A and B are shown apart, each in its own frame.
Chain A
Amino acid sequence: MELLEAIVDGMNYWIFIILMMIGLYAMITKNNLVKKLIGMSIFQTAILLFYISLGVKEGATIPILPHYYAHTSQEEQGNLVGSSDQAHAGKEASSATEGGKEKPSVAHAGSPKIDPNRFTNPLPHVLMLTAIVVGVSTLGVALSITQKLYTEFGTIEENEILDQLKSGDD
C-alpha cells in the first residue's frame, strides 16, 4: 500500500521518468536513425513534462491577473468585483467600500492582495517555451544530418552505414 501511495503521490515524476527511459532506450537500441530521433524527442518531451508539472498547484488557475486587480484603485475594484461575482465578492465589496478610505495605499502600491496559491507558477512554463524551441531545432538539425547520411550512404540503418564505412575507406 505504501508503495502505491508513493507512486500516486509522485505521479508526475513517475510518468516523466518512464517516458525518459523509453526515449533513452530507443536512442540506444534502435537501429534506424529516425527511430533514434523519435526516442530523442520523447526524451526531451519527458523533461518538458517534468518542468510543467513543477508549476502546477491544486485548484489554481492560469497566472493572468485581471486588469482591474493590477490597475484600478481598491474602491473601483470592489465595485467591479461586486458586479461581476456577487456570491463570493459581495462581502469583500462592502468591506472594501467601507474601509476604502482607510487603506488606499495598498491599492496604489500596485500590489493588491494576490494569493500566490491561486495561481500556477508561470516561470517553468516560460522556461519550457524556450526549451521546446531548442528541442525543435535540435530535432531539425539532427533530421537534416540524417538526410545528408541518406544521400551519402543510401540507407538510414545504422549497421548498414557502419558496414559501408568498414568496407570502404574514405
Chain B
Amino acid sequence: MIDQAPAIVLLAPFLTAVLVVLVGMKYERACFPLVVLGLCCSAAAAVQTLLQVIEAGTLRYSMGGWPPPFGIEFRIDGLNALVALTVSTVALISAVYSKNRVPEENGDKISIYYTLLLLVVTWLLGMVMTGDAFNLYVLLEVSALTSYALIAMGTRRATVAAFKYAIMGTIGASFYLLGVGYLYIKTGSLNMFDIHEVLVAENLHQSTTVLVAFILITVGVWIKMAFFPLHAWLPNSYAFAPTTTSCLLGPLVTKVMVYVMIRMMLTVFDPLYTYLQLNWGNIVVWMAVIAILAGSLAALAQTDLRRMLAFLIVAEVGYMVGGVWLANTAGLVGAIYHLIADVFMTLCVFLFAGIVFAKTGKRDITATHGLFAKMPLTMAGLVVGALSLIGIPPTAGFFSKWYLIQGGMAAGHWGYVTALLISSLAMAVLFFRVFEYAFFGVKPAEGHGDHHPSGKGKFSEASASMLLPLLGTASLVLLIGIFNQSIVSIITDFVGQFNLTGSIMR
C-alpha cells in the first residue's frame, strides 16, 4: 500500500469524482463529505510520497507495471513531491471553503461542479507527477478543458472569458504538442528522462530541430502560465468565475505551469543547453521584469478586488520565470520556493475575496468598508496573506523574495532586483488601500453614509467553513516562512544535482 502512494495521490480524487457524479445525482448532500474525503486521501498520500522521497531519493513508479520508456513512468524527486503536496493541500482547502458557496452560486449543478473540481485536481496532480512528455500534453489539455467549464459557470462575463481562455489555451497546448513532436523526430522517445539521455548521448543539442522544439514548448507553456504579453486570458477568467473556482485555479494553474517549465528546461533539455548554449537568460529575465512591472501597475488600476488579485498573479509569474532564467542556484531555489509560497499567499487573498463577496455581494475593493470591526478574524487572515505578498519578514513571501533577490544580485541583473522591489512597493500600496477601507471606512464622497457603517444590518464573521480555510492558509503561510530552511533544503537537493555554479551566465 505504501509503495502505491504515488498512484493513490492521483487515483483518490479521480475515483471520488466518478463516485460523486453517481451518488450526487441522487443525494446532493453526500457530495461535499465525499470530496473532502477523497482530497484528504490524496493529501495524505502526497505527504507519504514526500517522506519517501526525502528518505530514499528519487522514486520511480511505473504505471500499470509497464517498464519505461514504453509505459508511463512517474519519476518523483524533491521538486515533484513538494509541488504535488502543495497542489493537493490547496485543493483540500478550497474544497472545504466551497461547502456553502457551491450551493449558493451553482445550486442546480452541485454534483457536476464537484466532479469537475475533483477532475481538475486530478489532472493537475498528474501533470506534476508524470514523467512522460506526451502524457503531460494530454493532462495539460484535459485540465484546461475542466477549468474552462469551471470558469464558465460564473457570471456572463466569466463565460466570455472562458471562451477566450479556451482559444488561447488550445493554442498553447498545441504549441507544446508540436514541440514534443519535434523532440520525438530527433530522439524517438517520449519519456522525459529518456529524451534527455538520448539528447546528451547523441549530442543532439546542436540540432535546429531541438531548438525549434525548445522554442515551441517554451512559448506554449508561457501562454498557459500567463507570462506577461500572453496573459490576456487570465484576469477576467479568475475575476468573474465562481469564487470556489478562483480559489482553486487562481493559485494552482499558473504555478503548475511554472513547474512544467522548470521540468522541461532542466530535466528534458539540459541546464547547460538552456542556460549556456542558448544564452537567452538576459532577454527572458528582462521580459520577466516587464511582466512584473506591468502586472503590478495593472493591479494598481483595478477597482474590482478579484481582478486586482488576478493581475498580481501575472506579476508573480514574472517573479518565477525571472528567477528560473537567472541561471544560478539562488535564483532557481528562490523561484521554486516562491512557487510553493505563492500558491498559499494567493490562495489566502482569494479566499478573503471570496468571503467578502459572499458576505457583501459586492466585487469592489470598497466592499471591504469597515471590515476590521465586523470581521476581525477574516481580516487577520488577509493581513497575513497581504504581508506575505508584500514581503514582510516572518511570512513566506519575505524569504522567497530574499532568495530571488540574492539570485538577481549573484547574476548581476539589477533590473530584476529593482523590479522586485518596485513590485513590492506596488503591492504595499494596493493592500494598504484595502486596509484603509477596512479600518477607517470609505470616504463619504465615494461610499455611502460613513456614519452608519452597519446600516445594512450587522453581519459578523463568515461561517466556519469559510473562515477556517482562510485562517488555516494564513497559518500555513506563516509556517512555510518560519520553517523555510527545511523546505529550502529539499529544493537545494533537487537543484544541486544540476551543478549550477554561483553564476553560470557570466
- Chain A residues in contact with chain B, CB under 8 A? 24, 27, 33, 36, 40, 43-44, 47, 50-51, 54, 124, 127, 130-131, 134, 137-138, 141-142, 145-146, 148-149, 152-153, 161-162, 165, 170
Contacts and interface: CB of A to CB of B under 8 A. Distances in A.
B167 A127 contact: no
B141 interface: yes
- Chain A interface SS verdict (over half): helix
Given A47-B181, A134-B142, A141-B145, A148 B152 contact: yes
Nearest to B148: A141
16 contacts: A27-B171, A36-B167, A40-B167, A124-B181, A131-B137, A134-B138, A141-B166, A145-B148, A145-B159, A146-B163, A149-B156, A149-B160, A152-B156, A153-B156, A162-B160, A170-B156
A128 B183 CA distance: 16
A152 B145 CA distance: 21
Given A33-B163, A137-B145, A149-B159, 11 more contacts: A40-B170, A43-B171, A50-B181, A134-B138, A141-B149, A142-B148, A142-B170, A145-B159, A161-B160, A162-B160, A165-B160
A154 B314 CA distance: 32
Nearest to A169: B157
Contacts of B167: 27, 36, 40, 142
Nearest to A54: B185
B305 interface: no
A161 B159 CA distance: 11
A54 B180 CA distance: 12
Contacts of B156: 149, 152-153, 170
Nearest to A142: B166
Contacts of A54: 181, 184-185
Contacts of A51: 181
B141 to A, nearest CB: 5
B178 interface: yes
Contact of B170 (A44, A146, A152, A162): A44
A93 to B, nearest CB: 34
Given A47-B178, A50-B178, A165 B157 contact: yes
A124 B145 contact: no
Contacts of A141: 145, 148-149, 166
A162 B159 CA distance: 12
B174 interface: yes
B249 to A, nearest CB: 15
A44 B174 contact: yes
B160 A130 contact: no
Interface string B165-208: 01100110010011001001100001000000000000000000
A40 to B, nearest CB: 5
B247 interface: no
A141 B151 CA distance: 12
Contacts of A145: 148, 152, 159, 162-163, 166
Contact of A124 (B142, B149, B184): B184
Most buried by A among B157, B170, B171, B190: B170
Contacts of A127: 134, 190
Given A145-B152, A152-B156, A24 B134 contact: no
A130 B138 contact: yes
B183 to A, nearest CB: 11
B132 to A, nearest CB: 11
Nearest to A168: B156
A24 B168 CA distance: 10
A59 B177 CA distance: 28
B163 A134 contact: no
Contacts of B141: 134, 138
Contacts of A137: 142, 145
A138 B166 contact: yes
A63 B134 CA distance: 21
Nearest to B165: A145
B120 to A, nearest CB: 13
A170 B163 contact: no
B157 A148 contact: no
B419 to A, nearest CB: 30
Given A36-B167, A124-B184, A165-B160, A43 B174 contact: yes
A153 B185 CA distance: 46
A47 B174 CA distance: 7
B180 to A, nearest CB: 9
B155 interface: yes
B155 A170 contact: yes
